[in-house]
């Protein structure tokens, strides 16, 4: 959730910051524009999750996310 130029986790409500108080990169932002035939047709849903909440969410998946090792890090 973006509020006053700050990012908050939609699951736990905590501000997503690094150890020195800056907004951090280790979170996930998901945005979905729903279309026909969804009951949400025409709506755009978005949310942000901190890494611990992402881990809790994906731990509940029956089919786990595909994970690929990145060899070129920025």
Read off the pLDDT of residues 2-59 as tens digits, 9 standing for 90 and up.
888 889 999 999 998 765 666 666 899 999 999 999 999 999 999 999 999 999 999 9
Domains in the chain: boundaries: 2-59
Contact 44, 51 (CB under 8 A): no
**31 - beta bridge partners?**
46
Q: How many CA atoms lie within 13 A of 68 on its CB side?
A: 4
Whether the CA torsion 68, 53, 40, 5 is positive or negative: it is: negative
Residue 5: its pLDDT value, please?
80
pTM: 0.79
| Residue among 17, 49, 45 nearest 6 (CA) | 17
Residue 4: its pLDDT value, please?
81
């Amino acid at each position: 959730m973006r509020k006053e130029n700050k990012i908050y986790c939609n699951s736990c409500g905590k501000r997503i910051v690094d150890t020195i108080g800056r907004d951090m990169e280790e979170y996930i932002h998901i945005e979905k524009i729903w279309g026909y035939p969804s009951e949400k047709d025409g709506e755009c849903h978005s949310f942000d999750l901190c890494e611990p909440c992402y881990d809790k969410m994906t731990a509940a998946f029956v089919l786990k996310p595909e994970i690929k090792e990145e060899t070129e890090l920025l």
